[in-house]
Amino acid sequence: MGFIDTGELRVVERLPGWKGRYFDSESMTFGHYEFEVGSSIHEHSHPNEEVWNIIEGRLEVRIGDEAQVAGPGAVALVPPNTRHSVKALTRGKAIVVDYPLRPNLRGSYERSTRRE
């Protein structure tokens, strides 16, 4: 699969206010998120390295004991097995990439029957 139109992928709301469209490359999982103001992702960790690229809006990202407000163009690098959480300060969009693959986010290639 050389090209993917993310607008054609099924939207999944895994947590309230976090709508994502997911796909995998050979070794990485990608999530294209739209988030609502006030929504959050609870503190957690996983064995994957995770990279947050904020496209629109502002997020408060906590990695370990450090928190920072991140806006468009900012990137947050989460090392493997590190506690992290995210809170949306505004509406916006972010692309999240995990390495290696995140099997629990599979179902990525299902096409949407309705666009959001």
pLDDT one digit per residue (tens) for the chain, 116 residues: 689 999 999 999 999 999 999 999 999 999 999 999 999 999 999 999 999 999 999 999 999 999 999 999 999 999 999 999 999 999 999 999 999 998 877 544 554 443 33
Domain boundaries, the chain: 10-98
Judge residue 16's burial from the number of C-beta atoms within 10 Å of its C-beta, 0-12 exposed, 13-18 middle, 19 or more buried: exposed
- CA dihedral (17, 66, 83, 107) positive or negative: positive
> Under CATH, domain 10-98 is a member of which superfamily?
Jelly Rolls (2.60.120.10)
* Three-state DSSP state, 43: strand
pLDDT score, position 1 = 60
pLDDT score, position 88 = 98
Q: Running DSSP on this structure, what letter comes out for residue 89?
A: S
Cα separation of 95 and 58, whole Å?
13
Contacts of 10 (CB under 8 A, 6+ apart): 21, 107, 110, 111, 112, 113
Of 19, 39, 33, whose CA–CA distance to 86 is shortest? 39
pLDDT score, position 106 = 58
